Amino acid sequence: MKMGYNQTTIGEIPKDWEVINLGKASPGVIGILAGYAFSSKYFNEKEGIPLIRIRDLGKNSTEALYNGPFEDEYLVSPGEILISMDGEFKAYVWRGPKGLLNQRVLKVWSKNEEYLDNLYLYYAIQKPLRIIELQVGQTTVKHLSTKHFDRITIPLPPIEEQRRIAEVLSGVDDAIRRVDLAIAKTERLKKGLMQKLLTEGIGHKEFKETKIGKIPKTWKIVRIKHIASVKEGIYGKRGEKGIIQLKADSILDNGKINSNAYALITVNHRIDEYLLRPGDILLSNRNSANLVGKCAIFRGEFSECVFSNLLTRLRVHSKDIIPEWLLYVLMKMWHDGFFKSLSTRAVNQALLRKGLVERLRVPIPPVSEQQKIAEILSYVNKKFDLERMRKEKLVRIKKGLMGDLLTGRRRVKVAM
């Protein structure tokens, strides 16, 4: 055992730390309040006080207002800790306006902030909540109750160290929120540019009405079957050996291939016609309604690979179009919900048949204009990817800090 540490029920912690059980420490140390089942007849969108439901956690606003009677104890102020009681047992700091605590949402708070810092409590309960979620999920429908707090034991450093730990972790959370805002801003920019550039082009003043809407007068409209070959993928037996097969979850939202998501398959016939080449576009042909039509471009991530029967390959063969242009047109269709509306529905599935894909009409500008537009959208995509990578790095940093600071493996300096 490390010098200066004690072995406890939650592992080794510094000798000057305590261990407290939140269920047994309440009501003297923490307050626990489950939300109230407010009558839906008072719900509306125009007047009243914000009603905080599970779906609102993690946001800064609510979807519904409540304009009926309530008890003051169910009021929630900005900065208070809320926990979702169904599905994912996760703690949140409420950052929206003052609102009402609805059913299936739990509020917890420190009753003595000279003993237990409220923000430290928020960070300390996250791991125990996750453990309870995993335990409950093995036996029944996931549902958290106040009785589960008898299972929550947390380490308790001296109060000044609690505050310093919370300060460090909240600093990382602030950085993550700033990156989230930048990501959202770039996403809006990307969607706006796609809408404008893929329908209006660059510098056009004359337009014409077509079957797919208004486009520049000099643009053409063609069906996909006239500019690209369309082929559905291959089924194979999966195992630990074989050829790499890209799947539906190999396709990322940004039009790229996730090279970490693939299967290995063996097949009993020739695969030449299913091998991918750089520039091939893969489109999800069978998926949930929101994901069907999601697409990405293959850029040679693997030297040899095929694609699943749940994907459709589009291989451009016309000199009048570049693959990147077709990719962005298809991505816009997916973002706009076009494929969702066009698909054939089955139980929990939506299907895009090969013939339907071949008959799709797409706008075709001059190749030089396609290239300019693709470059602009590619630049915004790269900016988006960099911001997302920055967030992933911050999340990893936070995870490491929580593992170190909340166990005392790494001590923070406290001003004397």
For residue 146, give both structure tokens.
């106040």
21 and 100 share one domain = yes
**What confidence category does residue 136 fall into, taking pLDDT thresholds of 50, 70 and 90?**
confident
Residue 177: CB atoms within 10 Å: 13
Q: For residue 372, what is the enclosing H or E element?
A: helix 367-405
185 and 300 share one domain = no
274 and 180 share one domain = no
Residue 181 sits in a domain whose CATH number is 1.10.287.1120
**pLDDT greater than 80 at residue 282:** yes
CA 155/CA 125 separation, integer angstroms: 10
236 and 123 share one domain = no
Q: Is 286 strand, coil or helix?
A: strand
**pLDDT greater than 90 at residue 348:** no
Q: Which domain holds residue 257?
A: 220-364
Residue 31 sits in a domain whose CATH number is 3.90.220.20
Phi, psi of 192 (to 5 degrees): -65, -45
CA 34/CA 180 separation, integer angstroms: 30
Quote the pTM value.
0.86
Beta bridge partners of 32: 108
* CA-CA-CA-CA torsion sign (340, 346, 348, 353): negative
293 and 390 share one domain = no
pLDDT score recorded for residue 26? 61
Number of compact structural domains in the chain: 3
Residue (of 101, 108, 34, 107) closest to 62 by Cα position: 101
* CA-CA-CA-CA torsion sign (387, 392, 396, 402): positive
CA distances from 371 to 124, 201, 349, 406 (A): 52, 11, 35, 52
Quick: pLDDT tens for 138-184: 556 678 888 888 889 999 999 999 999 999 999 999 999 999 999 99
Quick: pLDDT tens for 69-108: 999 999 999 999 999 999 889 999 999 999 999 999 999 9
**What confidence category does residue 134 fall into, taking pLDDT thresholds of 50, 70 and 90?**
confident
Residue 230: CB atoms within 10 Å: 19
10 and 152 share one domain = yes
**Would you give the DSSP letter of residue 34?**
E
Quick: pLDDT tens for 224-257: 999 999 999 999 999 999 999 999 999 999 999 9
For residue 279, give both structure tokens.
């520039």
- Using an 8 Å Cβ cutoff, are 136 and 143 in contact? yes
Residue carrying structure tokens 């008959």: 359
